Structure 1
Amino acid sequence: MGIDSGPARWRRRVLRALLVVAACVLGAAAPAPSDQLRGIPAAELARRIRANRDLDEVLEMGRDLFKDRFNAGTVYPETWVRDFATFVDVALDRGDRGEIKETLRMFLRFQGADGNIPDGFTPQSEGRSDYQKILSPSAPRHWAHKNTVVTDQESSFILATCTYVRRTGDLTFLDEQVDGQTVRARMLRALDFLLAQRWSRPHGLLWGATTIDWGDVQPEHPWGTFLTKDTHRAIGIYNNAMLALALDSFLPLMGKEAAPRWARVREDLGRAVRTHLWDAKRQKFRPHLYLDGSPFPATFDEDAIFFTGGTVIAIQAGLLEPREAEASFATLRLHAREDGPFTTVGLVCHPAYPAGYFQNPDHQPHIYINGGDWPWISGRVVQAMIAQGFVTDGYAELLPVVQRVKRDKGFFEWYDQAGQPHGAAQFRGAAGVVGLAIKQLQAWAEAQKTKPTANDANSRE
């Protein structure tokens, strides 16, 4: 994604700022979306969800994106593992099951000798020329790449595979051989890579470069996707929560010999997250625990920044107590309101990092990952709310996301403070997480038909 330049850019920025100010003034007294539904009985909320045809329409729009390809979306020829992991479930509703399995095999054909999983793969004729290409004799028509600043590719692949197996019941896929090794063995090798190459033994946690939440850009380079001599290594919540979630999914499938070892790793990981990353005083996760010092000025209070993606994955992995999860949801809603009337709970971080802290021009405040509003995140927030029993909140926070999809006739990658779309116009990751959130809401609503009347749809069952 590029940044506009010249006089036109500044005119658009001024206009956007005026729109935000005007909307803040006009909408300052408006209640939050969840407040408008507060107190509605569960039966009535379920009826509204079942009657909401917008949910059906947007879900079908999302499913239609998976009928042919699984690349990230328009402007992105690559099929990325982190996106794939979040849309396998919805893709199985419409996409070809054989093609989904073949996509999983493709990631393994490019698996490194040390067990690492690439970020993504693309046809030989497509993709960025400045990637460090990874080649494989068993996939001669494609090449792969790996953004080494992040440490979630292996966990994402495991989650994608486990989702496929769970949805289809195709347990035999785990015993299928890819280039001489079974899928299950290769998944275990991916876990071994994390402990051998990306593990901070003093902390019992994964490390990566300094990035914003789940982002794959470090501040020390104009592009910033590869580890360099200037990298400031750091431990963050997203990578570690993803590993916890992956282990929870894989443990029942990995076999009796391997399971005890990784069950201990999972237990220790949960304790280490609480010890080193959870800030009990601020009731939030620390953005970074640095191993080699911080790249930012000593006067900068980075610990004040809230990372949405890592927090939500941690909730899904059970790394927060119920009261902490509830408080985190309240914080997310507050941040969305503070950022402006057009912002949803998909706000990546709050507040944004100041201008100039990242050399990559796409990381100016409120741009892209630095304080952009991502449906790929808001959909996962809603899923976590539903799982925790906060269905009213989940439904309320999903409604503006659904309306955007309808208004813009697609699943855009991210939105700015004025509620304007940017990036890929058909971002499959967004279609996957928003679609799954809709499916979960509709499943909850159907289940209410056979349950006694409840007064509150925002209570744990």
Structure 2
Amino acid sequence: MRLFIAFLITSLSLSAFQAPVFAQGTNNRDLSLIIRNDQRLDSIQARALRLLTGFNAGTSYGEVWIRDLNTFIKGSLKVHAPDKVRSMLLLFFKMQGNGGDIVDGFIDIKKAAVGYEFRYFPQAPDWVAHKNTVETDQESSLIQAVRKYVDVTGDTSILQEKIGEKTVIRRMEDALAYILNERWTEKYGLVKGATTIDWGDVQPETGWGVVINSKTKWACDIYDNAMYAIAINDFLAIKPAAYHATQDWTVVARRIRENVRKHLWLAADKKYIPHLYLDGSPFPASFKEKEILYTGGSACAILAGFHKPEEIAVINKQMVNAAAKEKFATIGITVYPPYPAAEFPNMHPYVYQNAGDWTWFGGRMIQALIANGFIKEAWDELQPIIGRTIAKNGFYEWYDVRTGEPKGSGDFRGEAGVLFDTITMLREWAEKNK
């Protein structure tokens, strides 16, 4: 496999850098041919697989993060033996908290630097872990990653692997139960977390913004709830028939879907509110937060099956329109418009998760479009993403929408994994529609 990857990388023809071909007015058969013959896709997948020989998030991150691994695990399974990937997943369960919670990431104990409040686990003595407590997606991400692993490998034995006195499938259910026990608001029947930007993990106020503190304002948002709904469905999809769950998770998933529509979705505007606050907002009453478009959480909501085609079309159009307002933006722009510095001093406008452009999530929106039959839109909206990936000769954490320059971590495996999976989905469609 590695020789094949090297061959692709070193033998790219000029056609690999061809001008983008858009799908407007193109029928399915012709679009299928375009996709199957586009050598730029070969180039990107080859580069992705070369990068996915590692597990840490990128050059700026020494840790293996579960929210990242969840999005590049399928690519990892192309270049690693299943046992290696399996061992990474099992490490997260070895570091599971007594209440069922899952850590964000872990790092070799010899490489751990000052900053995080590390957790230590006797079952993984060579590693230390940490958890960004403001976020509520770690448990959901791990369950989703296990589902992907099982789907790709067919290895259901991982579910019966014992860690301590508990099987992995039981630990998966414990992770789901942790959300109900510790991150649930009964008033609204929804998952809660700290106030962050869309799928982000930083609070507004200055300081160490990734942990719960005295300034934390609890809220419900679409990202956490969509990720949890996907995780429940993944748990149910791979749960052994002989395993008796502690509760009816189908009912929980249905309740979330209903309450998302009731409390987070603005039917008239066809968009999600950024936050449903539980104990007051961190922003002044004059700030019109509801006007901000949350793209990442919206993409996850579509992947969770929360929307009909006509709503997906409107959501997608909103993202395209938002991107059109900035010279170098794609549908990966995190939010739009960005939060002003006065309201979000911990992250200024157009920086990182505050309207930075992330292929990591833009690619997931394209996956959502493909999964729901919006192939022409998916292809057209992928073009600027493909173009900049090739032009910048790498996978980067995020892009500045004002300059087009890459920012953050280089060799960002989340972007590589999402693009690898997106191209795979497109090619599977193309093969079926020759």
The TM-score by the shorter chain falls in which range? over 0.9
* Deviation of 1:254 (Å): 2.5
* Deviation of 1:129 (Å): 1.2
* Deviation of 1:128 (Å): 4.1
Question: Which residue is 1:433 aligned to?
Answer: 418
Question: Which residue is 1:203 aligned to?
Answer: 188
The amino acid of 1:355's aligned partner reads A
Tell whether the 8 Å contact from 2:134 to 2:211 is kept in structure 1 after alignment: yes
CA distance in 2, matches of 1:124, 1:106: 14
Question: Which residue is 2:46 aligned to?
Answer: 60
Tell whether the 8 Å contact from 2:264 to 2:273 is kept in structure 1 after alignment: yes
> Which of 309, 314, 317 lines up with 1:330 in the alignment?
317
The Cα offsets for residues 78-111 of structure 1, whole Å up to 9 and x where unpaired, read as 1100011111111111223111101001111110
Tell whether the 8 Å contact from 1:222 to 1:359 is kept in structure 2 after alignment: no
The amino acid of 2:279's aligned partner reads D
CA distance in 2, matches of 1:245, 1:284: 19
> Which of 394, 399, 417 lines up with 1:410 in the alignment?
394
Question: Which residue is 2:370 aligned to?
Answer: 386
* Deviation of 1:398 (Å): 1.2
TM-score (norm 1): 0.87
Question: Which residue is 1:364 aligned to?
Answer: 348
The Cα offsets for residues 27-68 of structure 1, whole Å up to 9 and x where unpaired, read as xxxxxx99942111111111111110000110111011122x
Does the alignment pair 1:443 with 2:420?
no
Does the alignment pair 1:92 with 2:83?
no
Provide closer, same or farther for how the CA distance between residues 35 and 286 of structure 1 changes in structure 2, counting only shifts above 3 A.
farther
Question: Which residue is 2:11 aligned to?
Answer: none
The amino acid of 1:412's aligned partner reads Y
- Percent identity, aligned pairs only, is 42
Tell whether the 8 Å contact from 2:51 to 2:413 is kept in structure 1 after alignment: yes
CA distance in 1, matches of 2:155, 2:330: 37
Does the alignment pair 1:312 with 2:299?
yes
Does the alignment pair 1:375 with 2:359?
yes
Aligned length: 413
CA distance in 1, matches of 2:287, 2:227: 28
Tell whether the 8 Å contact from 2:331 to 2:362 is kept in structure 1 after alignment: yes
Tell whether the 8 Å contact from 2:23 to 2:379 is kept in structure 1 after alignment: no
CA distance in 1, matches of 2:279, 2:41: 47
> Which of 236, 239, 263 lines up with 1:276 in the alignment?
263
Question: Which residue is 2:116 aligned to?
Answer: 131
CA distance in 1, matches of 2:323, 2:81: 37
CA distance in 2, matches of 1:34, 1:317: 30
Secondary structure in 2 matching 1:339: coil
Question: Which residue is 1:151 aligned to?
Answer: 136
Report matched runs for 1:103-182 at 5 Å.
103-182=88-167
Name whichever of 175-184 and 370-379 sits farther off: 175-184
Secondary structure in 1 matching 2:198: coil
The amino acid of 2:124's aligned partner reads A
Provide closer, same or farther for how the CA distance between residues 300 and 152 of structure 1 changes in structure 2, counting only shifts above 3 A.
same
Tell whether the 8 Å contact from 2:203 to 2:216 is kept in structure 1 after alignment: yes
Report matched runs for 1:207-286 at 5 Å.
207-256=192-241, 257-258=244-245, 261-286=248-273
* Deviation of 1:356 (Å): 2.7
Question: Which residue is 2:332 aligned to?
Answer: 346
The amino acid of 1:48's aligned partner reads I
* Deviation of 1:126 (Å): 2.1
Structure 2, unaligned runs of 5 or more: 1-18
Tell whether the 8 Å contact from 1:223 to 1:359 is kept in structure 2 after alignment: no
Tell whether the 8 Å contact from 2:59 to 2:411 is kept in structure 1 after alignment: yes
Tell whether the 8 Å contact from 2:176 to 2:232 is kept in structure 1 after alignment: no
Post-superposition, which runs of at least 4 consecutive aligned residues in structure 1 deviate over 6 A?
A: none
* Deviation of 1:260 (Å): 6.1
Tell whether the 8 Å contact from 2:397 to 2:415 is kept in structure 1 after alignment: yes
Provide closer, same or farther for how the CA distance between residues 295 and 77 of structure 1 changes in structure 2, counting only shifts above 3 A.
same
Does the alignment pair 1:355 with 2:341?
yes
Tell whether the 8 Å contact from 1:34 to 1:393 is kept in structure 2 after alignment: no
Secondary structure in 2 matching 1:424: strand
Tell whether the 8 Å contact from 1:58 to 1:406 is kept in structure 2 after alignment: yes
Secondary structure in 2 matching 1:422: strand
Does the alignment pair 1:189 with 2:174?
yes
Tell whether the 8 Å contact from 2:20 to 2:383 is kept in structure 1 after alignment: no
Question: Which residue is 1:8 aligned to?
Answer: none
CA distance in 1, matches of 2:208, 2:396: 22
* Deviation of 1:406 (Å): 1.4
CA distance in 1, matches of 2:186, 2:55: 37
* Deviation of 1:223 (Å): 2.5
The Cα offsets for residues 198-219 of structure 1, whole Å up to 9 and x where unpaired, read as 0000111010000000000011
Structure 1, unaligned runs of 5 or more: 1-32, 450-461
CA distance in 2, matches of 1:208, 1:119: 15
The amino acid of 1:238's aligned partner reads Y
Does the alignment pair 1:76 with 2:61?
yes
The amino acid of 1:398's aligned partner reads L
Tell whether the 8 Å contact from 1:251 to 1:259 is kept in structure 2 after alignment: no
Secondary structure in 2 matching 1:174: helix
The amino acid of 1:66's aligned partner reads L
CA distance in 1, matches of 2:20, 2:291: 25
* Deviation of 1:321 (Å): 2.1
Secondary structure in 2 matching 1:118: coil
Secondary structure in 2 matching 1:125: helix
Secondary structure in 1 matching 2:433: helix
The amino acid of 2:178's aligned partner reads F
